[in-house]
Amino acid sequence: MCSSSTSPPQLNISDNGEDSHRISPSPVVHVRGLCEAVVEADLIDALEKFGPICYVMMMPFKRQALVEFTAVESADRCVSCGAKEPVYIAGQQAYFNYSTSKRITRPTNADNPNSGNKVLLLSIQNPLYPITTDVLYTVCNPIGSVLRIVIFKRNGIQAMVEFESVQCAQKAKAALNGADIYAGCCTLKIEYARPTRLNVIKNDNESWDYTKPYLVRRDRGKGRQRQAILGEHPSSYSDNSYGPPCPLLPLPGNSRYKLTSVDVPDMVSYPLPQSSSSYSGHAPSSVAMVSGLHPSKMNCTRIFNLFCLYGNIEKVKFMKSVPGTALVEMGDEYAVDRAITHLNSIKVFGKRLNVCVSKQHAVIPSQVFELEDGSSSYKDFAMTRNNRFSSAGQASKNIIQPPSAVLHYYNLLCVFWQLCTEHDVPGFVKFKMFDAKPSSKTISGLLEFDSKTEAVEVLTVLNHYQIRIPNGSNPYTLKLCFSTSSHL
């Protein structure tokens, strides 16, 4: 892959499977063909017979993982055995090859038991439901005693969890890395964190010190309102502590990944997903208010193109009394929460968006007027086929991602560079094309831009663009979304 300021980038053809045997031996093994429910502990149980394992990196959406052995001889045994006879991980045959990396990159040397690190970094992928300290405590504490939790939203939804000991942290990483908090979503990717201790100054939805229950805020009438799912200070793990039953996450059967107490059940029932009321001062609402919109470059369709990545869009209406502000009615309050989490404060066309929960509970098509670009200030999207969460099956295919500099594209003909020029948006600097069926008339792949802001603007303008071909009966709809890749 290469870039050019005067002509479209050229494709860099990657090595195919026939070249894989040329990869030199490495202590890091690339594992493919994993089942959806696999966690780190499953890989350790299946592969430690080949030799000691020092680190595992899960890639749950790709159903792949990297496993680093302490010695290249152990990796040799793993790859050789996998080539001669089936090797099963969590009941499904897996496939092995050497990785091009000689070592898995990790934040610190905390994978060394002697390092003293007891803090884990949790990245929650595809977070369809809100993640709170209550939820993470319920997930983590049955495996190892949790002292403190801090949740932050820098690169999507991430959290740091401090355990009582390094051994507890190691057990939790093995048991939970790659698991889903809720069925089919909120997937955990876990690494060791840099800090060795967390500093918590208040107990609420985004931070909690379980050694200092007196940090609970008493001003309940202001700001965020905590829902007492587990009470003021969670401590019990009986089966009926959490209300109605929810999706269950099985803990590995091997006792080394669980607390020894007989009171801990083999299946942990999680709290029900909380509504967005726990994140704002307003009652739950499926309407978001968006301000900071560029007066001539943003319209109802472009708002749909951006916000539809986080939930269905019902209606969009610009407010005549407040220039640069629109109301977006979404499918439910969870969609609004996802939009706030990922789109609040991003820059689009030189202006920073402010996204919050609206006091309105529905968008009413009143005071319709013409925007600067000539389009209507109101549009109903309830029946559009471009909504991506219209069924459970359709919603499960979406990966909720924060804006990034890399876009995933579908249904593209070889005209994207031309489209960028025609619509006065930045061109991409690198691209990757996925293998397509011989009969396919369109392609899919990845596009990398110079910055996240450029990628956001391109997606806002060109998502769902209709591409017509000569003598074609129906146009192709270009679909874009943010990629899990940070660069190509």
Render 313-375 in DSSP notation, one character per residue: EEEEEE-SSSTTEEEEEESSHHHHHHHHHHHTT-EETTEE-EEEE-S-SS----S--B-TTS-
Q: What mean pLDDT is predicted for residues 35-57?
A: 90
Q: Which CATH class is domain 401-482?
A: alpha beta
d(CA 474, CA 379): 24
H or E stretch at 157: strand 157-163
The percentage of residues in the chain with a pLDDT greater than 70, rounded to a whole number, is: 77
Q: What mean pLDDT is predicted for residues 290-314?
A: 95
Q: What pLDDT, on the 0 to 100 scale, is given for residue 245?
A: 35
For 241, the token pair is 């502590």
Q: What pLDDT, on the 0 to 100 scale, is given for residue 156?
A: 75
Q: Which CATH class is domain 287-389?
A: alpha beta
Query: Is this structure's pTM higher than 0.85?
Result: no
What pLDDT digit, counting tens, does each position of 163-177 carry?
999 999 999 999 999
d(CA 483, CA 1): 17
The answer to whether 411 and 351 have CB atoms below 8 angstroms apart is: no
- The confidence band for 461, taking pLDDT boundaries of 50, 70 and 90, is very high
Q: What pLDDT, on the 0 to 100 scale, is given for residue 417?
A: 80
| Range scoring the smallest mean pLDDT among 45-59, 98-112, 264-278 | 264-278
Let me know if 428 is exposed, middle or buried by CB neighbors in 10 A (0-12, 13-18, 19+): buried
The answer to whether 217 and 142 have CB atoms below 8 angstroms apart is: no
- The confidence band for 145, taking pLDDT boundaries of 50, 70 and 90, is very high
CATH 3.30.70.330 residue ranges for the chain? 28-98, 119-209, 287-389, 401-482
Higher pLDDT, 236 or 379: 379
**Domain formed by 28-98, architecture:** 2-Layer Sandwich (3.30)
d(CA 306, CA 283): 25
The percentage of residues in the chain with a pLDDT greater than 90, rounded to a whole number, is: 41
- The confidence band for 52, taking pLDDT boundaries of 50, 70 and 90, is very high
- The confidence band for 6, taking pLDDT boundaries of 50, 70 and 90, is very low
CATH of 119-209, one of 3.30.70.330, 3.40.50.620, 3.40.1350.10, 3.40.50.1110: 3.30.70.330
Q: What pLDDT, on the 0 to 100 scale, is given for residue 271?
A: 47
The secondary structure of residue 296, as a DSSP letter, is: T
